[in-house]
Structure formats: structure tokens, C-alpha cells
Structure 1
Amino acid sequence: MTSNTGSKLLLVAKDEWRYWLRSKLAVSVLIIGALLTLSSVIVTSITMMELSHTRHELQDNAEETFADQPDRHPHRMVHYGHYAFRSPSPLSILDPGIDAYTGNSIFLEGHRQNSAMFADQKQGTALTQLGSLTPSFIVQTLAPLLLILIGYSSVSRERESQTLTYLLSQGTSSTTLIAGKGLALLSVIALILIPLAIAALFSLHDGESILAILGFVLGYGLYLSIWALLVLLFSTAFSKNSESFTALAFSWILLCVVMPRIASTVAATSVPSAGKIETDFAVIAQLRKLGDGHNAADPAFDKLKTSLLEEYKVDSIEELPINYRGVIAKASEAELTHVLNEFAEKRMDTELSQTLVSRAFGWLSPMVAIRSLSMIVVGTSIETHHRFLREAETLRFDFVQGLNSVHVEQLSYQDDMNRNNDAQAAQKARVAAENWQVLEDFNFNVDPAGQRLQRSVSAFLQLALWIFILLIAIRTLGKRLI
């Protein structure tokens, strides 16, 4: 690019800005957009920081409360349970992702795998469920409208006002004219991204990687560039401002409103998932085949009983040096957990498959692409939620089996069997509270930045393809500009 061409580009961009500043609509849109973005960043940041502090505090309290329980029968502690809380990722101040729908804590107890609880959207009123003005929502949905309102007449107004022929006759090529208009729109994009980038940098204090921050800002830069190119394309293609605006408004509705919902519908239809009631009945049917872990006389455990008697070379379970009821509880929990994990993994595989089908629509809608990219890079995607469920389940199984080991080793079989005879027998069936130190510290962190960015490669490619196609289309139309 020669210096003369560069100066012409800047001249066209400056002229575009002068037009915008003279237009009350453009100035109003710029101010409203900037205020919305800035206010949403501040409000969401405060909210997520409070949530992070609260969940860390609740996690510590849950662990202390569990450890501070008095002397009890170990199986009582299995049912007393424990909580696992998921702390927000550092970048979730910009995109809470699916966290608002999936829940942020799980009650962990023996013999069951509970679902995550306290999802904001499930607890909110009908009004709050319409959508939150998070930074990601504003940039994904409202920022394209801002670009449309500002730039829909960029080229078409030159035709309407009869100035296009004059500009071209003065030596300004159509390519330079369109590029200059695009440069002005890119400067608007920079203004939109500044508060987003500043807020993202604050996440460095909470341990976020600069690599993830750069990927996040780059993704949104590519997304808004697509809309800037769409604005230029339609403004170049149509000779009237009204036609350009109508086409852009229709495109916004199609790409930002209709396509994401079509993607969700197609995903749910193409990868059907079993309903909760149907799944619950299937789980119950499988668990019935395992035997009742609360009943040491259940025939399902006869083989285990025989192997224990042979191992310890005794004739009855009363002669065993360990508590047979505890052994049964431990073995039953292991078998039960295996079955529950099979169903859980099947459900998560279905959810992931549905998500992947939905993400494929990023080739048809940049909105779908940036939404996927944003949640993946931030660490609020379905993959991160599934890892939270798996780690919480590992915590549940470990502490339950730890208590079952206490049941096996610290309580005699005879005292265990006589625990309901009287108050003194009940007291003898308790073990010391010092045995409750079976919990591992639970601190859930998002995946490393490199892994998140690797998952988002497909979304980056989708956005890049959109830019490539639009550049070719604009270049083709620009050559025909008269």
C-alpha cells in the first residue's frame, strides 16, 4: 500500500467519523453502546466476584461442618453428606456461559448421584429469565445492531446523494472508498472491545492466563469484524439506504435470533436424550440387581461372604476380624457407583453430542460460532461442567468409601448388629469423631488455557471462513461499483 493510498484511506475514515458525529442518531447509538458495555462489565464483575467469594466460603464451611460432627455411627455420616461448590472461572465476569443453567453446587451422599443445584435461571422469575445484560450478550447480540445503525448507509448514501461518481472521478478507487469506510467501522469495534479487554485483563489477578485473554478478545474482534463486513457488503450492494438497512436488519434477525434456536432444535432432535423419569426407572432396575447394601443377609452378597470366610479361615461372619456389614456397604457402594457412572457418562456423552451438533451451525451463523468460542475460552462450556460433575463424583465416592472403611475397621460386627437394642448399645455402635477426617480439599479450577484454546479452534475457523467469504464478496461488488 502506497503512502498516497494510505492517506486516502484515513481521509475516507475521518470523513465517515465527521458524518457520524454530525448525526444525532450515530452519536446516541455510540454513547448508549459504550454505556451498556461498560455498565454490564462492572455489574457482572461485581456479581461474579461476590459469587466466587461466597462459594469459597461455603465450601470451607461445608468441610468444617462435616469434620465437626460428633461421635456417630459411620453410616450415619454417609447419609449426612457433604457439598461441593464450583467457583466461577476468572473470565466468567464476561461470559457466565452455561453456569446460570446447570447449577453451581452438588449435595454428595452415599448411594446417590445428585444433580447440580442453585442454577440462577431456574431460580429466577420469568422476567429475569428473559436474558441478562452480560458483556457477552451485549457484544454478541446488541453490538452488531450498533454497527448496523451506524454503518448501514456507509456506501449507499454516497449513491443516494450523487457523490459516489464525484469521488471516483477524483481518483478515489472503489476499493479505497470501501476500505476507508471499513477502517472507520473497525475503529468503532475497537471502542467496543476496549472495556471488554480491560475487564479481561483484571482476571489476571485471579490466575487467568494471558493466552486465554488474547484468544477471548481476538474471537470477539473477529466476530464484530464479520458484522462490519456485512454492513459494508449490503451498503455496497444496495443503492438505497432503506434497502441496505432492511437487508441488514433481516440478517441480524436470521443470524442472531433464528439460527441459534434452529441449532438448538436440530441438536435436540438429531441426538435425542432419554427423559429424567425414564432414566430414573432404568437406574432403579439396574440397582435392584446389585442387592441391598443395607442388608448383610441379601443373597446377592453370598459369594462375597464365602470368599471372606475362606480368606480369613473362619466359619462364620461373627468370627471375622473385620465388620462384615461394613464390607458389604463398601462393596455395594462400589458396584452401585459403577452403574451410576455408566448412566452419568451416557447422559454426558449425549449432552456433548448435542452441543457439537449445535456448534456446527457456526458455519452458518457467526453468532453461534462466537457463543461457542466465548464459553469454551472462558471455561463455562459444557466440557467444563462435565469435568466438575466427574470431580465432584470422585470426591463423593472417596469420602463415602473412607467412611465405609471406618465402618469396617473401627466398629465390631457384634456392636453393629446390637445397635438398636438399647441406648447403651447405640452408644457402643458409634465411632470417634476423629474418623471424619476423610474429606479431600475440593478446589475446582478451569482447564488450562492451551486446552481451552485447542477446543475453540473450530469456532475460530468458522469466524475466519466468514471473514474470507465476505472479503471476496465485497471485493467482487466493489469492482462493479459505479
Structure 2
Amino acid sequence: MNIVLRIAREEWRLWARSRVVLVASLIVAVLLAVTSVLTVMRVGEEGAKRIAQQQSAEATFFAQPDRHPHRMVHYGHYAFRAPPPLAAFDTGVDAVTGQSIFLEGHRQNTAMFADTRSAADLGGFATLNPANLYQLLLPLLLIIIGHGIVLREHESGTLAVMLAQGQSGLAIAGGKALALAGVAGLFLLPVAALAIYSVAAGEAPLAAAMLVASYALYLAVWAALVLAVSLLVRQRSAALGVLVFAWLLVALIVPRLAINAGSAAVDAPGKIESDLVMLAQQRALGDGHNAADPAFDSLQKQVLEQYNAASIEELPMNWRGVVAGHSEARLTELMNRFATDRMRQEAAQSRIVTLFGLASPTLAVGAASRTLAGTDLATHHRFLRETEALRFDFVQGLNHLHATALSYADDAQRSADPAAEARTRVNAEAWQLLDTFRFMPDPATARLARASLPLALMLGWLVALTFIIAAGAHRLKP
């Protein structure tokens, strides 16, 4: 039998007889199983609920009676973001960003009904899910199991015997690495099962496979770190202390420092502050509800010249509807500019946090995991952009009805004349202009492209640790 495989087999036998290893493994396995089942149930229930709410919102909008088009602009509509299949493993930012938006004229509302507003850090630990356990507990399990994987041979004297028999340090290190890899592979089974479940639920196989691969890479990094410390440190207590300190630093301290660094490097004003600045600029655009606002004088002159009309009463369309559409277009351009700036700032903060993956593979795997699962910040931003496009389209469709389906005279008199008010009610069939909305994850190739940086950072960690292990193995002497 190959010496590497023999060494690994002996390690597995030793761990199988260790109560500490068995108890620790059992605790982690139970936590993974319970958390996975609960997350699958919760995400499945949330997905079904949001889809039902979306269908209900659309049915309610379509079922509205005959009304003035602008009343429907203010009646509004709801859009919901259903969780993707891989959210059963990593819920990502879903718990802190909100999953629904109320869409109405003249406003861009924020997403609502976040599970945990108090945990507003990007990708923070808002709710316990399998991804959190893999990122935090599995490294601890590898530390408990493997911190003395080489030092135990030193203490028992078997290392000197193995080296004296002609076994190379690289072969010994290879066997120990294979043993740790076997443990990591065993604990990859739950994420592999969740990946298979997500594919059955409609997820792209490439995204599911790459999510499993990203956690395999992450656990390989930790296994390599455990082996490197066991090769380089001369006492088991010291090795355990070094590894626990490394876990605290990499898994807890550096992520907090990264979030603070991102916030300090990119100063993103709060929404209230941004809205106050935007409102000051919005006043200069004019009030779309007041067709006589001086802000629309140039538009009125342009339209009158275009249709060779002497007054707005002679226009072939309703001047009030024209003003409403023009005002909405200008206001939306202003709101989109502020929204784009805010999303750009948030994305810049997120990139800084991801770059701290140079110092923390936990940050790197978290970024890759959220991206591949379709629960990252970029996906949330796309949800905001798509819902805004939906809002603008149906509002402008209603404004077009306002301009073309109603006479200006009736529209101007509807508050004082019940007959005119009745004539300004559009047939309810017109509400079918609203498009149905179903938010879908990005294609797997697009998610993989976004995850390439954090995956490359983890690969860099593994390569660097492999060189350290090789150097430590060469130092082994009888």
C-alpha cells in the first residue's frame, strides 16, 4: 500500500477511537443537519409566500375598477424578490436588505420587510444558516482534530522511526494532508446534498457545483493551515494556541476590520441625507400635478409649436397628461442618478471587504458563496434596477393614457363637475399594461465571473500554504 495512503488510514483509525474527535464531529454534524433542514424549510416557505404575494398584487392591480389613470399611478403596485434555490444554503444579504418594494409614481421606495434590520453589515450573520456553520465551525473542527497531527508523532517518537526507515518528510506530510482532506470531504456531503436539492429546484448545475467547489477550496485552506502549523511548531499546546488565535483573527476580527475599512474608505451618505439633497434639486423640476407650473413653460411652448396650436386647449392630447409624463421622466432621471451613486458606493464598500480576503479566507469564501448562491449585493442592486424599470414603465403607461384617453376640458373640470369626473375614468381593461414581474438569479456564468476574485484569493492562500508545508516537510529530520 502506498505510504501516503497508509499514513492517512492510520490517522483515520486514531480519530475514530478518539472521544474528543467523535463528540466534536457529532456536534458539528447535528448542527449542520438541523440548520440545513430548517433553512431549506424556511427558504421554501418564504419563496412560496413571496410568489403568492406577487401574484396577488398583480391580480389586485388588474382587478381595480374604472378610474382616473393618475389615481392608479398613486395606487401603486408591489414587487417581490423570491429567494433563489441556493439561498437554502446561503441566505446572503436577503435578511438585511428587504425582499419587497412598493412601486408608485414620483417616488423610489426602499426595499421593505428585512428579517433583521439591526444586522445591516454587508453579508453579516443576520440568521444562522449552513454557510455560516461552514465558514466558522468547520475550521474549528479541523483545528481540534488536526492541531497535533505531526506533533503527536514527535512526542511518541514514531516520527523519528518513520524517517529512519527512509520515509521522506514530503510523504509523511502528504499522508497527513490526505487524512485532513478526508475529514473535510466527509463534511462536504451536506453542502453537496443541498446543491443537488437546489438543482432539482431549478438552479443551474454550474452554480451549484462551483458553490461546493468553493467550500472544498476553503476547507482545503484550513486543512493546509492546520498541517503547516503542526509542522512548524514544536509543542501541541502552542500549535493549538496559534491555530485558535488564527481562527479568531481570520474569522472574526479581520471581517469586522474589513467592514469598518470599507465604510471609512467610501463615505456613503445615509438615505435620509441623500433624500434631502435630492428634494432640493427636485423642486427645480416643477410639480407634475400642476400643469401651470412655470417650470413647464418651455415644454408648453415646444409642444404648441410642434402641433401648431395657439393654446393648450387646441392640442390633440391632454396637456395635463403630457406634463405628468414629462415630469415623471425628469424626476426618474434625477432619482436614478442618486440611486446609481448610492449603489456604486455600496458596491465599492463591498469590493474593499472582498479584497480583505487577502488576509482572511473566511471573507473570500463568504463573498464567493453569496455570489454563487445569487444572494449577494450585486443581485440585490439588480432587483432594485429591475423593479424601478417596472415602476417607470407602468407609471408612464398610465401617464400616456392620461394624455391620450382623456380630454383636457374634462380633466380640468372633474373636481367640480361630476359628469366630467365620470368621463375621466378609464376602462379597467387598461390596467393590463402592467407587466408581470418574476425576479430570477443571474446566469451561472455571470455569477461565476463575479466570484472569480474571491476564488482566486482562496487559491492564492492554498498555494502559499502548500509551499510552507513543503518547506516544513523538508525540515523533518530523524
Q: TM-score, normalised by structure 2?
A: 0.96
- Find the partner of 2:336 among 336, 341, 349: 341
Equivalence for 2:281: 286
**Aligned 8 A contact 1:37 1:192 in 2:** no
Equivalent of 2:434, from 431, 439, 453?
439
Shift of residue 355 of structure 1? 0.8
Residue number in structure 2 paired with 1:274: 269
Displacement after TM superposition at 1:251 (Å): 0.3
Q: Distance in 2 between matches of 1:303 and 1:77?
A: 28
Q: 1:265-296: CA deviations, max 9, x gaps?
A: 11111111112232111100111110110001
1:97-116 alignment runs, 5 A limit: 97-116=92-111
2:171 to 173, 176, 181: 176
The Cα offsets for residues 275-323 of structure 1, whole Å up to 9 and x where unpaired, read as: 2232111100111110110001001111111222222222221222211
CA deviation profile, 1:65-115 (whole Å, cap 9, x unmatched): 001011111111100000111111121111111111111111000000000
Moved more, 158-167 or 436-445: 158-167
2:169 corresponds to which letter in structure 1? S
Matched to 1:165, the amino acid is A
Equivalent residue, structure 1, for 2:251: 256
| TM-superposed deviation, 1:29 | 1.1
CA contact (8 A) 2:84 2:375 kept: yes
**SS of residue matched to 2:437:** coil
Q: Distance in 2 between matches of 1:458 and 1:310?
A: 56
1:225 pairs, out of 212, 220, 224, with: 220
Identity %: 47
Amino acid at match of 2:332: T
- 2:355 is matched with 360
Cα deviations by residue, 1:194-238 (Å, 9 ceiling, x for unpaired): 111111111112321111112111111010000001111111112
Tell me if 1:456 matches 2:464. no
Which residue of the partner structure matches residue 129 of structure 2? Answer: 134
Give the Cα–Cα distance (whole angstroms) in 1 for the partners of residues 259 and 118 of structure 2: 22
Q: Which residue of 2 aligns with 1:197?
A: 192
Structure 1: stretches of 5+ with no match in the other structure: none
Cα displacement (A) at 1:133: 2.5
Equivalent residues of 2:125, 2:132 under 8 A apart: no
Distance 2:448 2:461 in 1: 19
**Deviation of 1:123 (Å):** 7.9
Paired residue total: 473
Distance 2:128 2:50 in 1: 23
Maintained 8 Å contact 1:86/1:105: yes
2:151 corresponds to which residue? 156
Greater Cα shift, 152-161 or 294-303? 152-161
1:441: how far off? 1.3
The answer for unaligned runs of 5 or more in structure 2 is: none
Equivalences for residues 66-145 of structure 1 within 5 A: 66-122=61-117, 131-145=126-140
Distance 1:121 1:11 in 2: 50
Q: Distance in 2 between matches of 1:55 and 1:172?
A: 61
Please name the residue that 1:241 is paired with: 236
State the SS of the aligned residue for 1:376. Answer: helix
Detail structure 1 runs of 4+ shifted over 6 Å in the superposition. none
Partner in structure 2 of residue 50 of structure 1: 45
Whether contact under 8 Å (1:157, 1:240) holds in the other structure is: no
The CA deviation string for residues 409-452 of structure 1, in whole angstroms up to 9 with x for no partner, is 11111111111115444333322211111111111111111111
Q: Structure 2: how far apart are the matches of 1:334 and 1:423?
A: 31
Aligned mates of 1:62, 1:209 — CA distance in 2: 28
The residue type equivalent to 2:81 in the other structure is: R
